[in-house]
């Protein structure tokens, strides 16, 4: 098999840190290489060098045996290397065809776009990717998973044979992940090579041929997937053994007889309808479902972020919630899946972020905020939640994803909610932080709180929940008890009465 890429002794230094330290590896045609490591291990810097965005301080990159000095992303693309970033670069207001052929539309001698040809070419490409989409469709109307595929299609149509995928499935539901995998496998057979960056180790085992693991800028392991287990990978990534990924079961956890929290007939037009479920005190209930099943929307409905009908009960009593303010007052916390978009104040310091839910507690009788109280509270939360930061005055945007997520949890757990709803608790964060967050959720349940975990990662739900409620098509299609836990049982309910249509 021909060699597509070889890097030798790559090194990249930033002021104060060696992001990539003497990394060498190679990649053959038709091979999927998983690039693994915790946040900050140097995966993105390494891939940025390969796709021309960053220049190495030393070391060489060889493409098809020839040494390549890549000056820009465009340069790399012309040499057949493309990267699909986590943040998609599609223009939502434009059609699929215009996005795929952005800046390369077929034109006539006057420079006018030949629309017919543009749409025809796109239609053929889509067909080869088993996508039944009209090329005229506006990209914003498509699910994220399809948009992600369009990025790959664009790379392929530009003649790129090496495609770097950065967390391609982080916001996809299972059916879309399968579609993505099917296409990756097909392209692999045609000789395309992939570098696959992810935090989801179970995916690595299904899609990758080989893994390389990075830690603190260095490559600490290279193995074929046949010769390594998930646990070995984790140990390599973290540098120590994590015994209990899903947290230790607290000794004193008891699940109450009655529901501590109940949702009855929750409905909102075009989002979800007739949602019913309950959570016992001390219980962790998972909400599973495909993307578009209405899970996040339903949770937002509970706290009345939009107009909806239905009843919320707390300890058997009806709880009137007419605004998000009411929800907070009643001790219902909803921790968002989108911490950057609508969870945190990235321009503000850690202490200011923690302050937002404690305005009352941290001020005096006249309604004036007390600096000493704010600092003491922030210091305590930073310690309790093991947020690693030089100072409580650090701007939040400068923290790693895991630390941001811990900060978000610290903000919400600070109000000591009775009902704790958390949406995608570990999206985009590394294994070490994941284990800590699972432990926090279990400890919360030990205190008798009702915990609801919404997640697209089934292994996560199966690992920490006592019961899983499954949604499909905007309503609850059933639930799976711990004794009956299996991926099939959940997926069966998730697919029920659900036909994904684009």
Partner 1 sequence: MNHSFSKKLVSIFTSREFILAALLVVASVIVSFFSPVFLSSANILSVIIAITVNGVIAVGMVMLLACGEMDLSVGKNMAFTGVIVAKLIVSGVPVAVAIVLSLLVAVFIGAFNGFFVSKIGLNAFITTLGMSCCIEGVMLVMANGRSITGLSESFKMLGQGKLAGIQYPIFVMILLVVVADLLLRNSRQLRKIYFAGSNAKAAKLNGISVTRVKLYTFVFTGFCAGLAGVMFASRLGSASVTVGGSTALDVITACIIGGASLNGGKGTVLGAVLGALFLAVLSTALNLLSVNIYWQNFATGAILILAILLDALSEKRKSVGKAVL
Q: List interacting residues with partner 1 (CB under 8 A).
A: 14, 48, 53-54, 85, 89, 303, 305, 323-325, 327-329, 334, 336, 341-348, 355-357, 359-360, 362-363, 367-369, 395, 397-398, 411
CA distance 194 to 33: 6
Name the residue with tokens 């509970």.
Answer: 302
Tokens of 160: 């790129």
CA distance 229 to 227: 7
Buried b (16+ CB within 10 A) or exposed e, 360-397: eebeeeeeeeeeeebeebbeebbeebebebeebebbbe
- At its nearest, how many Å lie between partner 1 and the CB of residue 150? 18
Give Cα separations from 292 to 175, 289, 422 (angstroms). 11, 8, 18
- At its nearest, how many Å lie between partner 1 and the CB of residue 16? 10
- At its nearest, how many Å lie between partner 1 and the CB of residue 65? 28
Helix or strand run (H / E) with residue 226: none
Q: Which residues contact 342 (CB under 8 A, 6 or more apart)?
A: 336
Name the residue with tokens 């690992």.
Answer: 463
* Cβ neighbours around 17 below 10 Å, total: 13
* Cβ neighbours around 186 below 10 Å, total: 13
- At its nearest, how many Å lie between partner 1 and the CB of residue 189? 31
**Residue (93 or 347) nearer to partner 1, CB:** 347
**Residue (205 or 346) nearer to partner 1, CB:** 346
Beta-strand relationship, 467-472 and 475-481: antiparallel
Enter the DSSP assignment of 243: S
- At its nearest, how many Å lie between partner 1 and the CB of residue 336? 6
Q: Do residues 244 and 48 lie in contact, with contact meaning Cβ atoms separated by under 8 Å?
A: no
- At its nearest, how many Å lie between partner 1 and the CB of residue 334? 6
Query: Kindly report the CA angle at 124 between 123 and 129, in degrees rounded to 5?
Result: 95
CA distance 158 to 80: 8
**Residue (57 or 324) nearer to partner 1, CB:** 324
CA distance 190 to 219: 29
Beta-strand relationship, 17-28 and 3-14: antiparallel
**Residue (155 or 234) nearer to partner 1, CB:** 155
Look at the chain and count its residues.
502
- At its nearest, how many Å lie between partner 1 and the CB of residue 55? 11
Tokens of 125: 């490409």
- At its nearest, how many Å lie between partner 1 and the CB of residue 489? 32
Tokens of 244: 């209990």
**Residue (92 or 397) nearer to partner 1, CB:** 397
Beta bridge partners of 391: none
**Residue (167 or 174) nearer to partner 1, CB:** 167
- At its nearest, how many Å lie between partner 1 and the CB of residue 118? 25
**Residue (60 or 328) nearer to partner 1, CB:** 328
**Residue (251 or 368) nearer to partner 1, CB:** 368
- At its nearest, how many Å lie between partner 1 and the CB of residue 488? 35
**Residue (355 or 433) nearer to partner 1, CB:** 355
**Residue (111 or 367) nearer to partner 1, CB:** 367
């Amino acid at each position: 098999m021909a060699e597509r890429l070889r890097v030798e002794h790559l090194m990249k230094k930033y002021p104060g840190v060696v992001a990539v330290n003497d990394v060498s590896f190679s990649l053959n045609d038709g091979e999927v290489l998983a690039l693994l490591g915790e946040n900050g291990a140097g995966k993105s810097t390494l891939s940025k060098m390969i796709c021309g965005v960053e220049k190495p301080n030393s070391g060489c990159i060889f493409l098809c045996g020839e040494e390549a000095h890549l000056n820009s992303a465009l340069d790399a693309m012309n040499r057949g290397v493309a990267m699909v970033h986590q943040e998609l670069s599609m223009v939502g207001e434009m059609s699929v065809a215009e996005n795929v052929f952005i800046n390369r539309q077929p034109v006539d001698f006057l420079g006018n776009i030949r629309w017919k040809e543009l749409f025809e070419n796109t239609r053929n490409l889509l067909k080869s990717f088993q996508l039944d989409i009209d090329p005229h469709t506006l990209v914003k109307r498509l699910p994220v998973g399809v948009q992600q595929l369009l990025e790959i299609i664009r790379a392929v149509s530009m003649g790129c044979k090496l495609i770097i995928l950065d967390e391609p499935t982080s916001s996809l539901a299972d059916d879309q992940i399968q579609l993505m995998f099917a296409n990756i496998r097909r392209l692999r057979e045609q000789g395309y090579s992939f570098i696959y960056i992810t935090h989801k180790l179970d995916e690595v085992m299904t899609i990758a041929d080989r893994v390389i693991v990075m830690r603190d800028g260095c490559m600490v392991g290279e193995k074929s997937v046949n010769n390594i287990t998930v646990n070995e990978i984790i140990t390599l990534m973290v540098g120590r053994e994590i015994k209990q990924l899903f947290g230790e079961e607290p000794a004193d956890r008891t699940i109450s007889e009655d529901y501590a929290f109940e949702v009855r007939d929750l409905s909102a037009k075009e989002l979800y309808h007739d949602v019913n479920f309950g959570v016992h005190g001390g219980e962790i209930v998972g909400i599973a479902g495909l993307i578009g099943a209405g899970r996040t929307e339903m949770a937002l409905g509970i706290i009345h972020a939009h107009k909806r009908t239905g009843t919320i009960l707390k300890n058997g009593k009806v709880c009137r919630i007419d605004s998000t303010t009411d929800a907070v007052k009643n001790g219902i916390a909803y921790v968002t899946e989108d911490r950057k978009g609508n969870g945190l104040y990235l321009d503000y310091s850690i202490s200011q972020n923690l302050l937002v839910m404690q305005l009352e507690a941290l001020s005096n009788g006249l309604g004036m905020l007390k600096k000493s109280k704010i600092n003491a509270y922030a210091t305590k939360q930073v310690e309790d939640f093991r947020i690693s930061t030089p100072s409580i005055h650090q701007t939040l945007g400068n923290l790693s994803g895991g630390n941001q997520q811990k900060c978000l949890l610290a903000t919400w757990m600070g109000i000591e909610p009775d009902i704790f709803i958390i949406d995608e608790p570990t999206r985009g964060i590394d294994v070490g932080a994941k284990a800590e967050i699972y432990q926090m959720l279990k400890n919360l349940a030990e205190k008798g709180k009702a915990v609801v975990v919404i997640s697209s990662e089934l292994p996560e739900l199966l690992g920490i929940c006592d019961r899983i409620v499954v949604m499909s098509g905007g309503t609850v299609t059933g639930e799976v008890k711990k004794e009956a836990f299996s991926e099939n049982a959940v997926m069966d309910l998730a697919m029920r009465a659900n036909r994904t249509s684009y």
